[in-house]
Amino acid sequence: MSEKKQNSDSNRLRRHQFPPLRKQWTPGMSQGGSHDTGEYQQQLMSGFQQGVSDGFEQGITQGKDQGYQDGLARGIEEGMRQGREDGKRIAHTEFMLAAKPLENLVTSMQQALDEHEQSRRSELLQLVEKVTRQVIRCELALQPGQLLVLVEEALGTLPEPPKRLRVLLNPEEFARISEAEPEKVREWGLAADPDMAAGECRIITESAEMDVGCAHRLEQCMDVLSQSLSQPQDESDEP
């Protein structure tokens, strides 16, 4: 009974067979299993130097690639900028050369317009002066006493009435004024002067001599009109 039980237990329980232990290899261990410290340090230094060399070469390669890309991009940008500036300068030069004949034509046209405008103003002034002289001549023929108005205005500008007074007139106008205003002939000492042109009048006192004739007045008015026409017209005055 006990023998059968032992056989049964032996069939159920089996011992585990572990594999034989092997020595773990470590760096620097020789085939015989002994450690060589010098060889280990040499291998370590060799691996470090190899890593440094590989990293340096890789850095140089990457730096060259990055530098090439950056240089290429900057070169393209600088080339485009320089190209645009050169293109603008060349286009401006060509435009100025092409526009030179047109500029000369515009200058010639403007000069011709200025000369025409100046001629037109001169002709206008001559026409105004001619018409004014005719109007004055007709007015004095109809109303010779108008010269006495000029004399009275001139005497009014004196600081005090003159003690001696003489007024010279054209002989024809003196004759008409003598008929129309005989009292003025005696009061102002009117006299005929054959050298006086029609419409002229000269006042002589003990201290001064004044020309109050129509020609002198007309000359002053024409000077003012000429200056007014010579000034450029404002844009606001244009229609």
- Residue 96 in any domain: the answer is yes
Least confident interval from 35-49, 68-82, 205-219: 35-49
Residue 102 and residue 151 in one domain = no
Q: Averaged over 205-227, what is the pLDDT?
A: 83
CATH classification at residue 202: 3.30.2320.30
- Residue 238 in any domain: the answer is no
**Structural domain span for residue 194:** 144-222
Bridge-based pairing of strands 190-192 and 209-211 is unpaired
Helix (H, G, I), strand (E, B) or coil at 115: helix
Phi-psi region of 189 (alpha: psi -120 to 50; beta: other; left: phi over 0): left
- Residue 48 in any domain: the answer is no
* Chain centre distance of CA 73: 37
Residue 65 and residue 136 in one domain = yes
Residue 179 and residue 218 in one domain = yes
Write out pLDDT tens, residues 82-133.
778 887 888 878 777 877 787 888 888 888 888 888 888 888 888 888 888 7
How many domains would you assign to the chain?
2
Position 229 scores a pLDDT of 77
Residue 130 and residue 160 in one domain = no
Residue 154 and residue 133 in one domain = no
Locate 223 and state its tokens. Answer: 């000077």
- Residue 23 in any domain: the answer is no
Cα–Cα dist 16/67, whole Å: 67
E strands, the chain, are 165-169, 190-192, 201-205, 209-211
- Residue 102 in any domain: the answer is yes
- Residue 141's nearest CA partner among 169, 183, 176 is 176
Residue 136 and residue 197 in one domain = no
Distance set, CA 86 to CA 31, 91, 186 (Å): 77, 8, 92
Q: What's the half-sphere exposure (Cβ side, CA atoms, 13 Å) at 9?
A: 6
Position 171 scores a pLDDT of 92
Residue 169 and residue 204 in one domain = yes
Position 7 scores a pLDDT of 52
Position 38 scores a pLDDT of 72
- Residue 119 in any domain: the answer is yes
| Domain end point (choices 142, 163, 181) | 142
pTM of the complete model beyond 0.75: no
- Residue 139's nearest CA partner among 110, 176, 101 is 176
Position 148 scores a pLDDT of 86
- Residue 233 in any domain: the answer is no
Residue 186 and residue 206 in one domain = yes
Reported as a pLDDT band with limits 50, 70 and 90, residue 17 is low
> Is 90 exceeded by the pLDDT of residue 192?
yes
Cα–Cα dist 223/216, whole Å: 11
Phi/psi at 193 (nearest 5 deg)?
A: -130, 115
Residue 107 and residue 173 in one domain = no
- Residue 88 in any domain: the answer is yes
Cα–Cα dist 125/228, whole Å: 11
Residue 116 and residue 180 in one domain = no
Name the amino acid, one letter, at 142. Answer: L
